Structure 1
Amino acid sequence: MHYATKSRLLSATALIAAGLISTTAFAQEATIAFASGELGATSYNPVTSSNLNSATSLIYDRLVEQDADQSYHPHLATSWEESADGMSWTFKLKEGVTFHDGTEFNAQSVADWIPDFADTENAFLVAAIDAVEVVDNLTVKFVMSRPEPNLLYNLASSFMGIPGAAAYDEMGDNFGVTGAVGTGPFKLDRFDIGLETVLVRNDDYAWASDLSENQGAAHLAQVTFREIPDQSTAFLELKTGGVDILLGVPTDFLQILKAESNVAVIQMPGTGINYMPINVTAPPFDDIKVRQATGLAINQEAIVASIYNGVGAPAHNFLISSLPEADVDPALDVRHDLDKANALLKDAGWIMDSDGVRVKDGTRLSVKLFTQNGTEFTSLTQVVQAQLADIGMEAIITVFDSSTIRDEYKENRHQLAVRGYDWNNSDILDWFFSGKRLGYPNVSMWTDAEGQRLNDVAMEESKNSEERIANFKAYHEYILSQHLFVPIYQPTTNIAYNTNKVNVPDPIRGTRFRAQTVLDITVAE
């Protein structure tokens, strides 16, 4: 639920340059460009960071991995057992695993790690764990304060990569910036924030999950992430040979890439949506009628056809459609209805002026519309601007980089924004709408007693999966009734690569492009 990431946000692109040492000792280079939401990471500390990128999964391993079909697979944990009442979980751990600094991974490593989440933004991931008991060197038991049917999902997230305790304590706030120690297939060599991250192969690696065919050290000797802010540049680099793999391919490039003889395209189900949060504290959006009218102005189907060339699907609520909690009362889904939108604004006192912009008490219906830089999101924002104009709302677009826009949110200087998230679990509702996170990530600035009650029930009082689905569905429906955002689009995850340069496994295992895939990448001969 972080965009990572919990955030799949938005519009810039990062490049990964990877080097492979062949049997002839000749260093061949491959370059990977990945999704825009990967930008903006300021640390590779999975415990404290709210924005992580794909490099994180290469540095740290997790107890559990999740495949694309939502199934869970052993990794650092070889097996697990939940007690009948849900009040304890016991994990058997893999033998022979070491951290990058040579220290042993064992049950004490897990016991040292879980308490580090206290008082961080990610504390919710382990909030139900009351105590960690070391049963023996390779067995650890979580004693729960309440049942947590979402525990395996939490353990499989990027934020649950396990750091080495000794290095974590020694580096303090510098952990994840000047250095990072995990058990993953790559080691952090250098991190220049906003510019470049260099990873080198962990030659001792021999404990991959079954999501990778390669169970040993990576074929790639080095991976370098470079941040590049323009998707068009990444596309041209792929086409001309400067980039060998492009993740998060904009849909308007797909047909062009498919026509290239040396380019293969892989499509994965998307794990998030693009949407427009509404700041409920900023007039005129403190009026629920204006918020509802804003949602009804957006024509999701037309956007999918015009911006995304029919790839992906329209979004009508906040969750990806594959989640059962997305199956809400159809009356609450947000769908285009221009007549109703105009009637709501008129009823709210906003009268259409001669220039096509509504006016109330001498004030024009002119609002700020924020977005992040990058071709796809700026194009989407321009279409949203035009559709808002159809109801007499003048939207002034401002484009920010990924770091600056978060500062704008935190300072409550926004009204509308076009953004996206990447998280295939209903607890994303807690992340973006809990009153405990106003400013960011609760960009809607919404705090509400009933909403928080429903949030807390869903997050903390679900005894099993069935209860959790019902509780999150109720919370989702209440959020929809308050018109806090406008759902727009469910993207697919599009990956393209140069077949003359690299071999990428297809299908890609896992819900995202992560370490399990990088382990299997080879340079084409």
Structure 2
Amino acid sequence: MRTMTKAFLSGSALLSAGLFMTSLPSAAMAQEATFALPAGELGATSYNPVTSSNLNSATSLIYDRLIEQDADQSFHPHLATSWQESPDGMTWEFKLHPGVKFHDGEPFNAETIAAWIPTFAGTENAFMVEAIDKVVVVDPLTIKFVMKRPEPNMLYNLASSFMGVPSPKSYKALGKDYGVTTAVGTGPFKLESFSIGLETVLVRNDDYAWDSDLSVNQGAAKIAKITFREIPDQSTAFLELKTGGVDVLLGVPTDFLSIIKSEKAATIITMPGTGINYMPINTSVAPFTDIKVRQATALAINQKAILDSVYAGVGQEAHNFLISSLPESQVKPGLDVSFDLAKANALLDEAGWKRADDGVRAKDGQPLKVKLFTQNDTEFKRLTQVVQAQLKDIGMDAEITVLDSSTIRDEYKKNNHQLAVRGYDWNNADILDWFFSGARLGYPNISMWKDAKSDELNKTAMTNSKTSAERIANFRTYHEYLLSQFLFVPIYQPATNIAFNPKTVSVPEKVRGPRFRSQTIMDMQVLQ
């Protein structure tokens, strides 16, 4: 559903009517728990990790990965018990965990990997494995990747949610329906049902006995059933937490934190963020075909004011496209994008956009009126309202369109957008390839950026890096060029806030992994 809006009611105000509602226990005797997915994970249309571009937290429970990544960026064995890279980077050998079975009863072994890697060919996720030339089965529990080129990002790729290993038998049998009607992995939970846009229900895999060392629990999960609900409005999700409809919120807007803490309604976990909230600029449509207009738009956004007013100082300002913990984010001075209202207005003057009596600029009789898309969750609607007001200060009239998470991607693909406020969750520099590669126009390349120099720098970073140090340098150069073209406006680097009801579920003190995923959920339990 699409709605047009120029006004927004704060989520905090919506909470006031429900703050004193009686809390009810949601944890049933059957050891069931309910999670509310964060805004950035809403709208997944499939649990096919090979072909999907949008996966959610339930994916990590259905599928295991060869490798797991911890919060400190270290890599740990999972379905692969050990690995070895040749000195020249041209072969990788992996020893596999014995005794592993898929949910359909099929064995996991080296033949599984040999069948799985080729399925990525022709998909949006093919870049994860494109450096692999061939897969050699050494023995039933040993696999070797013979490489086309060195891939210093190999372990990160294998730890990705998109590298969950599906059952070859089920994957082949179901074809295009795989991931929608059924999803079969080796993970600690099985898919019971999936209602797109509403909820996903998982049930425990009682045979599970091969978790990574990131979980204390090495056997079957302590929770028997988990329901992941999609609740676009965070104020509604919080009230569900208070009244027992939800046990865990996987994303809590910062303006709710003080309310939750003061009411003692839940326990809060704050983790370092792994993404950026930003505004992509569609470079293929007027007026944003003009780099001066794009630059003025970027300089109009006051990151500090947004951090203070929208996020109560929690998190960090964002001044480029990568999270600050990545070395590729450390770009040359002057390339970071920062608020400069005077320069923004001067750029628009130079570009021929003159202010009319109503304050809106115009050129050749056309007002500077643009479409500003956002998704229909509380945090992004509020952020978009602030962005709209800041754009008004440079004489740009931005009309907000609110869309659900599935519809908005369709609009991007149809090139119906000009500006948008959105976010991503990814802690690797190859996110630049995802959003700015000329091969991905429409979605995920929402900026509709197609440029020969850019694509050459992309190729160098993605495929010509032989070592980690070389990869960092190449991605930094690529990042700097993208910043110089003003394809987006960096806004905010979120912290990840998670809330849970301590009366219904227990959560381990230490969250393992860069995100709240299966490693931590395996050590949770329902409280009777």
Q: Matches of 1:459 and 1:170 in 2, distance apart?
A: 33
Q: Matches of 1:475 and 1:43 in 2, distance apart?
A: 32
Q: Matches of 1:461 and 1:351 in 2, distance apart?
A: 46
| Post-superposition offset of 1:167 | 1.0
Q: Is the 8 A contact 1:239 1:257 kept in 2?
A: no
Aligned partner of 1:121 in structure 2 is 124
* Paired AA for residue 199 in structure 2: E
Q: Is the 8 A contact 1:500 1:524 kept in 2?
A: yes
**Structure 1 stretch displaced more, 466-475 or 219-228:** 219-228
Deviation sequence 1:319-368 (CA, Å, 0-9, x none): 00000000001200000001100110001111111111111111111111
Which of 255, 258, 261 is residue 261 of structure 2 equivalent to? 258
Which of 368, 374, 377 is residue 377 of structure 2 equivalent to? 374
Q: Matches of 2:252 and 2:334 in 1, distance apart?
A: 34
Q: Is the 8 A contact 2:31 2:223 kept in 1?
A: no
Query: What SS class does the counterpart of residue 285 from structure 1 fall into?
Result: coil
Deviation sequence 1:246-289 (CA, Å, 0-9, x none): 11100000111112335211100000000000001111100000
Q: Is the 8 A contact 1:19 1:27 kept in 2?
A: no
Aligned partner of 1:410 in structure 2 is 413
Q: Matches of 2:114 and 2:26 in 1, distance apart?
A: 36
Which of 410, 415, 420 is residue 423 of structure 2 equivalent to? 420
Q: Matches of 1:19 and 1:384 in 2, distance apart?
A: 38
Aligned partner of 1:482 in structure 2 is 485
**Structure 1 stretch displaced more, 496-505 or 255-264:** 255-264
Aligned partner of 1:5 in structure 2 is none
Residues 1:158 and 1:19: Cα distance change in structure 2 (over 3 Å): farther
Q: Matches of 2:514 and 2:429 in 1, distance apart?
A: 15
Aligned partner of 1:67 in structure 2 is 70
Q: Matches of 2:400 and 2:328 in 1, distance apart?
A: 33
Q: Is the 8 A contact 1:78 1:92 kept in 2?
A: yes
Given the alignment of the two structures, is residue 219 of structure 1 paired with residue 240 of structure 2, yes or no? no
Which of 509, 512, 517 is residue 514 of structure 1 equivalent to? 517
Which of 79, 82, 85 is residue 82 of structure 1 equivalent to? 85
Which of 94, 101, 106 is residue 104 of structure 2 equivalent to? 101
Runs of 4+ in 1 over 6 A off after TM superposition: 18-21
Given the alignment of the two structures, is residue 111 of structure 1 paired with residue 133 of structure 2, yes or no? no
Deviation sequence 1:395-443 (CA, Å, 0-9, x none): 1111111111111111111110000000000000000000000000000
Q: Is the 8 A contact 2:35 2:226 kept in 1?
A: no
Given the alignment of the two structures, is residue 46 of structure 1 paired with residue 61 of structure 2, yes or no? no
Query: What SS class does the counterpart of residue 167 from structure 1 fall into?
Result: helix
Q: Is the 8 A contact 2:280 2:488 kept in 1?
A: yes
Identity rate of aligned residues, in percent? 72
Q: Is the 8 A contact 1:262 1:499 kept in 2?
A: no
Q: Is the 8 A contact 2:437 2:445 kept in 1?
A: yes
Which of 191, 194, 198 is residue 194 of structure 2 equivalent to? 191
| Post-superposition offset of 1:197 | 1.5
Aligned partner of 1:3 in structure 2 is none
Given the alignment of the two structures, is residue 305 of structure 1 paired with residue 308 of structure 2, yes or no? yes
Query: What SS class does the counterpart of residue 27 from structure 1 fall into?
Result: coil
| Post-superposition offset of 1:173 | 1.1
Aligned partner of 1:352 in structure 2 is 355
Given the alignment of the two structures, is residue 333 of structure 1 paired with residue 336 of structure 2, yes or no? yes
Q: Matches of 1:20 and 1:95 in 2, distance apart?
A: 35
Q: Is the 8 A contact 2:274 2:426 kept in 1?
A: yes
Which of 311, 314, 317 is residue 317 of structure 2 equivalent to? 314
Query: What SS class does the counterpart of residue 159 from structure 1 fall into?
Result: helix
Aligned partner of 1:275 in structure 2 is 278
Aligned partner of 2:38 in structure 1 is 35
Q: Matches of 2:135 and 2:454 in 1, distance apart?
A: 32
Give the aligned CA root-mean-square deviation in angstroms: 1.3
* Paired AA for residue 113 in structure 2: V
**Structure 1 stretch displaced more, 402-411 or 223-232:** 223-232
Query: What SS class does the counterpart of residue 421 from structure 1 fall into?
Result: strand
Aligned partner of 1:523 in structure 2 is 526
| Post-superposition offset of 1:36 | 1.0
Q: Is the 8 A contact 1:318 1:326 kept in 2?
A: yes
Q: Is the 8 A contact 2:26 2:246 kept in 1?
A: no
Report how many aligned residue pairs link the two structures.
505
Q: Is the 8 A contact 2:37 2:230 kept in 1?
A: no
Q: Matches of 1:373 and 1:190 in 2, distance apart?
A: 24
| Post-superposition offset of 1:28 | 4.2
Q: Is the 8 A contact 2:31 2:225 kept in 1?
A: no
Query: What SS class does the counterpart of residue 210 from structure 2 fall into?
Result: coil
Q: Is the 8 A contact 1:19 1:223 kept in 2?
A: no
* Paired AA for residue 118 in structure 2: P
Deviation sequence 1:150-193 (CA, Å, 0-9, x none): 01000000000001111111111111111111100011111122
**Structure 1 stretch displaced more, 340-349 or 193-202:** 193-202
Q: Matches of 1:232 and 1:345 in 2, distance apart?
A: 39
Residues 1:97 and 1:152: Cα distance change in structure 2 (over 3 Å): same
Deviation sequence 1:4-23 (CA, Å, 0-9, x none): xxxxxxx9xxxxxx9978xx
Q: Is the 8 A contact 1:19 1:222 kept in 2?
A: no
Which of 266, 291, 296 is residue 293 of structure 1 equivalent to? 296
* Paired AA for residue 73 in structure 1: H
Query: What SS class does the counterpart of residue 513 from structure 2 fall into?
Result: coil
Q: Is the 8 A contact 2:31 2:224 kept in 1?
A: no
Given the alignment of the two structures, is residue 245 of structure 1 paired with residue 248 of structure 2, yes or no? yes
Aligned partner of 1:460 in structure 2 is 463
Q: Matches of 1:194 and 1:274 in 2, distance apart?
A: 22
Q: Matches of 1:362 and 1:390 in 2, distance apart?
A: 20
